[in-house]
Structure 1
Amino acid sequence: MPALAKPLFSPPPQIHHDNSDAERRLLEAEERLREAIEELHSRNAVRGPYPPCDHGPDESCAAHAIGNLCQTFLLTYGVRVGIGILLRAFKLAKGKSYSSLLDLKRLVSEKDLIVREESCRIGLLFGGFTGSYHALRCFLRKFRRKETPFNAILAGSVAGLSVLALDDSNRRRTLALYLLARVAQCAYNSAKSKNKFHFWGSRWRHGDSLLFSISCAQVMYAFIMHPESLPQAYQDFIQKTGPVAAPVYKSIRECCRCGPVDLASLSAFLSRRGKPDSVKLEEFPSIIPCSVIHPDTHSCLAQNANAASATFRKTFPLYFSLTFVPYVVLQLQKFMDAPAHTCWFALRDAVHSTAFLSAFVGIFQGVICLHRKVATRDHKLVYWIAGGISALSVLLEKKSRRAELALYVLPRAGDSLWYILVNRHLLPNIRNAEVALFCACMGGVMYYLEHEPDTMAPFLRVLIRRLLASRISNPVLPSNRVPSYTYLQTLDAIKKPKSQESREDEASPSQKYNLESIPGL
């Protein structure tokens, strides 16, 4: 039998490779390629083209900055004017002058509604900040040829000079201390999330209420004993909200300091109230009695109830204006789509806030009256304790609002403490120190907004993003990426564990993109 012919093309001999050795060499090659690409990108970051700006390619940096300036100016100007007009309407309605609501001369006259200068200053503050911030970011991108956290810090600090639009140093100091509290909050949240540092008890459920109580204790103590340490507008607000007259506070302050009480002015006050012979002041040399604190009502319990109800009636128009106008101006489209829904949200939040403040006033009055029932001598520490106890009324507020209220009152407490320490020469009185502090804090705020937004309070984060009206915190990646960048992204996606991908797919949109629901937004 003849031998079979050999095939024209014979298969190559089988070569057995070590799979583990091949995988190792492949991984080494990928690692060397990754290092080379990263080195190339690092060189391009320094010597390569400019990083992309936040605005579109069809818009210049100057036009983008000026547009943001004008938009934010008009937005904040409109909010302030709207609040003033709504408060004026409540005042006319309270006086039963309903026909005047349709008379524009009485509703928006400059004589009765002096908000033009203040609204312009607020507009210049926020508009100047957003415009200069965008301009500085574009300049730093082109000058430094790279995008780093230093750009956000420097641009935010320099743009913070817009606070000079406010001519009142007390208001500038209050804003600076408010931002300082916010930056401290962001820094603490950042350290806590990285397991670097946290206070004992920081995970308490009512830690925000405790901070609010301590801050209110300092504020009420300062209002009674050192009213000059609080801004005049804040003094007037507390005075008008509470049921006790200013001459009585003055007498209490003099009594706590063991000084001579001006009995003549106190008697004149009681005479004007129609109570000239209701009490003999000489019989109470060491404490001002309840009959002087509330001369119109003999029952302390009835006085506390009347104080709470009167506070509700006086402050509801203010809180409704502060709630309704931002809802409309900042979210006009939502208001146009569902006006009744927006009004309901504003009404609900206003009732919450007014009930909390009314309870605060009633509890504070009750603690003062209780002290006079059990003690025969007054002491300034009583008013510090009364402020802390009355602040427990914040539990009537929603949980999401308590931390915001605590961080709102904390700068007021720090402001008064700063003033007291400076007057006692325990702190140096540095000229324009509040401006420098504001600029430094704005740099910190912008850093956390862009690079660690999760550490910021949701309200502040959404508000600043709305004012900046840009995508700085979530920039859109340009489509013209180099192939090496695409390769790195693909390689990372391949190496990602499948379990992690499944967890991301199962996560809700709010968890995946870290969006937090904001009440009313």
Structure 2
Amino acid sequence: MNNKKVLELVSKILIFKTEHCQHKHSCIRNTFQGASEAFIKAFIAKLCLNGLMLLLSLKKVMKSDKKLLNAFKILLNKTNFQLGLFMGLQTFLLKGTQCSLRTTRNKEDGINALLAGFIAGGLSYMTQEENVKYLVRVYLFGRAVDCIYQSQVEKGRFKHRKIIPVLVFALMSTLISFAFFFEPEILPLDTYKMYQNFSGAEMNDSLWHMCNVQAWRNKINAVKSS
């Protein structure tokens, strides 16, 4: 009898869907399906990015003794899985928390989404290593800026102009370029290596770069001491 009640309870949970939910299937299925899709998309996106990095460093890879192994390490590494797990975990927590809040609060007024986003983002971010945290910060910052801009356009405070996203990207690129040339220690290592691969710098260029960095630091120190 007890086993039957347990099975009935599990069955109800598996097919349960709140009256406020707009998704097609049950809350449980929607949560797991969303998490798996997020994992796959993030994994493939990182794989494509690694493919670009492989093309940029192809010359260096071809000079190495273990060409295939080094190419494979660049193309597929633990960061692929870490980023996929981050996006999957965040989606799982977001959807699961939102459905739980709809059930407990018995309404949908926007607060559910705010609380679910805060909980899902915070918990999933805390589980990641620094290199994955950097990728997430870059992506979410860009999306957050875009959301703020679009909301202001809808409210009529700004007019949508195609040049604005270009200017924002140019400004961000300017800051990264400045850091690369004058304060490379504040850049994440993978970003520094990416810019170095883009520039195709040789040994003499790297020496000039470090001399330029030191000259800039001396100039800043001189200004501070004056």
TM value normalised by structure 2: 0.68
| One of 109, 113, 126 as aligned partner of 1:164 | 126
* Cα displacement string for residues 338-358 of structure 1 (whole angstroms, at most 9, x for unaligned residues): xxxxxxxxxxxxxxxxxxxxx
**What are structure 2's unaligned runs of at least 5 residues?**
1-16, 221-226
Name the % identity.
24
1: CA distance, partners of 2:51 / 2:145: 36
* Cα displacement string for residues 256-296 of structure 1 (whole angstroms, at most 9, x for unaligned residues): 3447xxxxxxxxxxxxxxxxxxxxxxxxxxxxxxxxxxxxx
1: CA distance, partners of 2:126 / 2:178: 30
The equivalent of 1:250 in structure 2 is 210
8 Å CA contact 2:36–2:88 kept in 1: the answer is: yes
- The residue correspondences of 1:270-285 to structure 2 (distance < 5 A) are none
2: CA distance, partners of 1:89 / 1:187: 35
- 2:203 pairs with 1:241: no
The equivalent of 2:182 in structure 1 is 225
Residue 152 of structure 1: how far off its partner (Å): 1.2
Between the two proteins, the alignment pairs up a number of residues equal to 194
Q: CA RMSD in A?
A: 3.5
8 Å CA contact 2:18–2:99 kept in 1: the answer is: no
**Aligned partner of 1:208: which letter?**
P
The equivalent of 1:53 in structure 2 is 21
* Cα displacement string for residues 133-158 of structure 1 (whole angstroms, at most 9, x for unaligned residues): 22112111111111111111111221
- The residue correspondences of 1:73-222 to structure 2 (distance < 5 A) are 73-81=39-47, 84=50, 91=58, 95=62, 112-114=71-73, 115-160=76-121, 161-168=123-130, 171-173=132-134, 175-176=136-137, 178-195=139-156, 197-198=157-158, 206-222=163-179
Looking at CA atoms only, which structure, 1 or 2, has the larger radius of gyration? 1
2: CA distance, partners of 1:230 / 1:221: 10
The equivalent of 1:63 in structure 2 is 29
2: CA distance, partners of 1:71 / 1:193: 30
Closer/same/farther in 2, CA of residues 95 and 135 from structure 1, 3 Å limit: same
Residue 194 of structure 1: how far off its partner (Å): 2.1
Closer/same/farther in 2, CA of residues 86 and 50 from structure 1, 3 Å limit: closer
- The residue correspondences of 1:445-460 to structure 2 (distance < 5 A) are none
Residue 230 of structure 1: how far off its partner (Å): 1.0
**Higher normalized helix content (fraction of residues):** 2
* Cα displacement string for residues 465-508 of structure 1 (whole angstroms, at most 9, x for unaligned residues): xxxxxxxxxxxxxxxxxxxxxxxxxxxxxxxxxxxxxxxxxxxx
8 Å CA contact 2:18–2:102 kept in 1: the answer is: yes
- SS of structure 2 residue aligned to 1:122: helix
Closer/same/farther in 2, CA of residues 225 and 151 from structure 1, 3 Å limit: same
* Cα displacement string for residues 230-249 of structure 1 (whole angstroms, at most 9, x for unaligned residues): 11111111112114422111
2: CA distance, partners of 1:166 / 1:190: 30
Residue 252 of structure 1: how far off its partner (Å): 1.4
Closer/same/farther in 2, CA of residues 235 and 140 from structure 1, 3 Å limit: same
- SS of structure 2 residue aligned to 1:146: coil
**Aligned partner of 2:190: which letter?**
A
Q: Which has the higher contact order (CA 8 A, sep 6+)?
A: 1
TM value normalised by structure 1: 0.32
Deviating runs (4+, > 6 A) in structure 1? none
Closer/same/farther in 2, CA of residues 143 and 224 from structure 1, 3 Å limit: same
2: CA distance, partners of 1:180 / 1:84: 21
8 Å CA contact 2:98–2:112 kept in 1: the answer is: yes
Residue 125 of structure 1: how far off its partner (Å): 0.8
